[in-house]
Every structure is written in C-alpha cells, then in structure tokens.
Amino acid sequence: MAKSRFEYVRTYEQDGMLLPNTYIVIRLDGRGFHRFADRYHFGKPNDKRALCLMNAAAKQVMGQIPDIAGAYGQSDEYSFVLRRECRLFDRREAKLVSTFASTFTAHYQFLWPQYFPQRVLDGNMLPTFDARAVLYPSLREVRDYFSWRQADCHINNLYNTAFWTLVLTGDLSQHDAEQALMGTNSGDKNELLFGRFGINYNNEDAMFRKGTMLVRDVGSSSESAESRDEPEPEPEPEQHEKSKRQVEREEKKRRKAEIVEMHVDIIGDEFWKNSARWIS
C-alpha cells in the first residue's frame, strides 16, 4: 500500500545514541542576545531581573526532567548535567538537545512578564536558545567543566564591571574604556575599580561574580554522605545493580527533591565535598 512505498526514507535516519554510563552536559546559549539585551534595555553590566529569569526558566526545566542532577548559569547561557545512568529518550542526541532548547525557550517566554512586566515581547525579536551536548566519562571532568564556565564568568564579569564603570561613572566613551583596559590583568582591574571609583569588586552581587549553581538536593544517601575525602569509587554501569523498582523509587525521590540555588565558588574543593548528595 501507499505508505510502504515511501517508508524507505526512514532508513536514512541515524540513531545518534550518546555513549551509555557517561555524564551528559547540555549547554544552552541565547541566540543573538547582544542585540536582544539592547532591544529590551537590559541593565549594564548585569541585569539582575534577566539573570533571575534565566534561573527561573532553568528551575522549570529541572522540575520537568528529573534526570538533571544540577545546572550552572551565567550571562545568557545555562549548562545542565544529566546523571550518568540517564536513559532519557534512549540518550538520542538530537532529541535531547532539541527538547532542552524548546523547554527552556517555552518557560523563558512564559515567565518573561513576571520579570519584565513593562516590556512587552516583540514577535520580531523573541528569545531563543541553541543547545549542544558533551559527554564526560568521570566526575572529575564534570567538575572541571563547571569550573571552566565559572572561570569564564569571572573573567567576563570583572571586565564588564570595569568597562561599564568607566563608561557610566567615569564618563569615558566605549572606545576609550576599551583602550584603558587593554592589557590589564585581574589585579589591575580590581585596583582600577577600587582606586578610581571606590568599588570593592568582591562586594558586588555574588550572582554576578559567581553565576548561579542549581543542585537537586536528593538528601544524604546513607553510605556516601560523610566520606568525601577519599577518591570516589568508579560508578558501576546500571545494569549491574538496580531493579526496575529501585530505579522508579529513585526517580520519584529526585522528582520530589528540592532544587537549591547557590552563588558560590565551585572551583575549589569545598563545593564538591557534598556532590554525592546531588550528582550520583
């Protein structure tokens, strides 16, 4: 019959399965958010409402997808890490990245009026996001991934703070501010802020300086809570251990777990001491 004559086109699809038993990190990036921020008059160097909206949308995504263990956001980007056992959508890459992009986009737009009640969205410039997936075989790499993003946050925010202080308070043109900062290191920028403007960068809003970490606090699992000093045992592939019932019980626990928001250093060891509570 008619259907089958054409159905061969399905054989051209690739399955695109992501390797099992690895952490999946999905990073969303705002598309054209430079122009978007201008269009909706975001504050400089940071717009707190815009960041809170990002966080709120990310929490909605976490609420709907229990396999997300944690997330980190800064500027117009958000990274989600999925448990290494995650089997969502049979780990098909296209399905994962498109669903994350779509779900985040939906909530961002839906929540917009709560954060920007005076700024009606324009159909010619709606907020949209792209997404990519990266695999990490060990917790060490996941930690380094988040450290990478926070280091990026720090560098950009320190620069932007100095730049916009020079422009907005110091009355420099954008071109002159750029020149003034060329070749400066972190210390120089801190000094410039303090010496010329009396601004102690460390007193700036922690959300701006550190970004936002969201973790799903599943609670202290019996054996793993305290002993975070020793090396973490290599996680076992799921097939070896869990009954279907146990899997469901754990998912239910994750669904009910609180999502905790933090604006702290995630590069040092301190933050990761309790990582077993949320990522394993």
152 binds a copy of itself (CB under 8 A): yes
141 binds a copy of itself (CB under 8 A): yes
DSSP state, residue 17:
B
Count of C-beta atoms within a 10 Å radius of residue 107: 19
Distance between alpha carbon 249 and the CA centroid of its chain, in Å?
27
11 binds a copy of itself (CB under 8 A): yes
Single out the residue of 46, 72, 74, 154 in contact with a copy of itself (rule: CB under 8 A): 154
Q: Which is nearer to a copy of itself, 23 or 42 (CB)?
A: 23
Q: How far is the CB of 175 from a copy of itself (least distance, A)?
A: 26
Contacts of a copy of itself in 12-71 (CB under 8 A)? 12-17, 19-22, 28, 31, 60
Is residue 32 within 8 Å of 221, Cβ to Cβ?
no
> Helices 186-197 and 139-164: crossing angle, nearest 10°?
40
Q: Which is nearer to a copy of itself, 101 or 166 (CB)?
A: 101
Among 24, 136, 20, smallest CA distance to 70 is for 24
Residue 255 C-beta-side C-alpha neighbours within 13 Å: 7
Q: How far is the CB of 221 from a copy of itself (least distance, A)?
A: 15
Single out the residue of 182, 229, 240, 245 in contact with a copy of itself (rule: CB under 8 A): 240
Q: How far is the CB of 113 from a copy of itself (least distance, A)?
A: 11
Single out the residue of 65, 81, 133, 162 in contact with a copy of itself (rule: CB under 8 A): 133
Among 173, 152, 276, smallest CA distance to 226 is for 276
Contacts of a copy of itself in 204-233 (CB under 8 A)? 230-233
Single out the residue of 47, 109, 257, 263 in contact with a copy of itself (rule: CB under 8 A): 109
CA distance 5 to 109: 42
Q: How far is the CB of 206 from a copy of itself (least distance, A)?
A: 18
147 binds a copy of itself (CB under 8 A): yes
The DSSP bridge pattern shows strands 129-136 and 23-30 to be antiparallel
Report the length, in residues, of the chain: 280
Single out the residue of 102, 173, 179, 200 in contact with a copy of itself (rule: CB under 8 A): 102
> Helices 139-164 and 174-181: crossing angle, nearest 10°?
130
265 binds a copy of itself (CB under 8 A): no
